[in-house]
């Protein structure tokens, strides 16, 4: 009886050893796939397409909360209608569309990944406001 348990134990050890060797290839394959997905190698054209898509969908999503009929109002929205600027060294973007100004913070690079902003700030410029003038600054008293 004792030798029977030893035999069973030996077989279990062999099966475990063989099974773990077969899975080591799977773990390596998983790591390679994960690395490929986290560090995609994109062409400049793909980066541009991702960026444009991310900006348009972000503006569309943000403004859809402000309009009564967003499908109608944002139907013709194109990337060419937007002005955008990136704060150097960050994933923070400033975007202008008509009289709306947006600040978007993306969790990852929007040129590399299809993503949505993690933070957004929207400002609407009032009609007739001249941002170049000093009308809003306080005058100094002598």
The lowest-confidence range among 64-68, 101-105, 129-133 is 129-133
Instruction: Identify whether residues 31 and 52 lie together within a single domain.
Output: no
**Residue whose C-alpha is closest to residue 60's, from 51, 71, 68, 49:** 71
Q: Indicate whether 74 belongs to any domain.
A: yes
Residue 118 inside a domain? The answer is yes
Q: Which of 102, 109, 121, 118 is nearest to 56 (CA)?
A: 102
Q: Which domain holds residue 64?
A: 44-124
Least confident of 4-8, 72-76, 96-100: 4-8
pLDDT, mean over the chain: 84
Average pLDDT in the 27-51 region?
Answer: 89
Coil, helix or strand at residue 12: helix
Task: Let me know if residue 139 belongs to a domain.
Answer: no
Q: Reply yes or no on whether the pLDDT at 18 is more than 60.
A: no
Residues 52 and 80 in one domain: yes
Q: Specify the higher pLDDT residue, 7 or 132.
A: 132
pLDDT of 130 reads 84
First-to-last C-alpha distance (Å) of the chain: 106
Average pLDDT over residues 116-128: 94
| Most confident range, picked from 11-15, 22-26, 72-76 | 72-76
């Amino acid at each position: 009886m004792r030798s029977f348990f030893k035999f069973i134990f030996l077989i279990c050890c062999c099966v475990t050893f063989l099974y773990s060797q077969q899975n080591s290839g799977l773990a390596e394959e998983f790591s390679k796939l994960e690395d490929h997905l986290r560090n995609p190698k994109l062409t400049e054209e793909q980066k541009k397409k991702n960026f444009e898509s991310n900006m348009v969908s972000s503006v569309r999503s943000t403004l859809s909360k402000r309009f009564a009929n967003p499908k109608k109002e944002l139907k013709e929205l194109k990337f060419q209608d937007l002005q955008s600027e990136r704060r150097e060294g960050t994933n923070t973007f400033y975007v202008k569309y008509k009289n709306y100004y947006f600040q978007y913070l993306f969790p990852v690079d929007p040129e590399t990944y299809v993503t949505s902003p993690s933070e957004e700030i929207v400002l609407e410029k009032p009609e007739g406001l001249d941002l170049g003038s000093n009308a809003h600054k306080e005058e100094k008293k002598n």
